[in-house]
Structure 1
Amino acid sequence: MTSLLSPEITTAASLTDRCDRCSAAAKLVVTLTSGGDLAFCGHHANRHRDDIVRIAERVVLEDGFEWAGK
């Protein structure tokens, strides 16, 4: 299932998660429309921005992180 609406985007002072791809500090956490969460470092968040927007219900960005998908 794909999202037809833009995901809700919020910010948080800091994130404690680690990137699910490379284990670096997460800058973005995504709640998927299908359920569950994924965390991404800045590099992977920007690299996969189109896919994230397509499957996200909610996106939480760390304060100060400039995400290309915004």
Structure 2
Amino acid sequence: MYAGGEPQEKGEDNQRRQWLDDDMSETTTTPRKDTLTAADRCDRCGAQAYVRVVLSAGELLFCAHHARNHLPQLEDVAREIHDETDRLYAEHGSAATAAV
């Protein structure tokens, strides 16, 4: 059950067993914010993320450049794609399209 060298105080084993036996069907998750912020970074290069791809196993964040590169392959398996690249172009103008 536990490693033989683990110190156990009286009653500690019952607490551990209760934790292991508790119903794990209820999970709590931190609510995901809808809008990406400057704190959200691309999983490929660390630049500001403008695209969130929600997959069954989690989510990926991409800058506009890496989103353009990877979205064609991810579109078939993604549960949701949240694209805010229009915000990037609105904030930085047409020069952003040439630089990204």
TM range (shorter): 0.5 to 0.7
1:42 paired to 2:64: yes
Task: Report the identity percentage.
Answer: 44
CA RMSD of aligned residues (A): 2.1
Flag the structure with higher helix content.
Answer: 2
Greater relative contact order (CA < 8 Å, ≥ 6 in sequence): 1
Q: TM-score, normalised by structure 1?
A: 0.64
* Ranges in structure 2 where 5+ consecutive residues have no aligned partner: 1-33, 88-100
The higher radius of gyration belongs to 2
Separation in structure 1 between the aligned mates of residue 79 and residue 58 of structure 2, nearest angstrom: 10
Of the three residues 82, 91, 100, the one matched with 1:60 is 82
1:15 paired to 2:36: yes
Structure 1 residue ranges (4+ consecutive) displaced by more than 4 angstroms after TM superposition: none
Q: TM-score, normalised by structure 2?
A: 0.47
Matched residues, number: 53
* Ranges in structure 1 where 5+ consecutive residues have no aligned partner: 1-11, 66-70
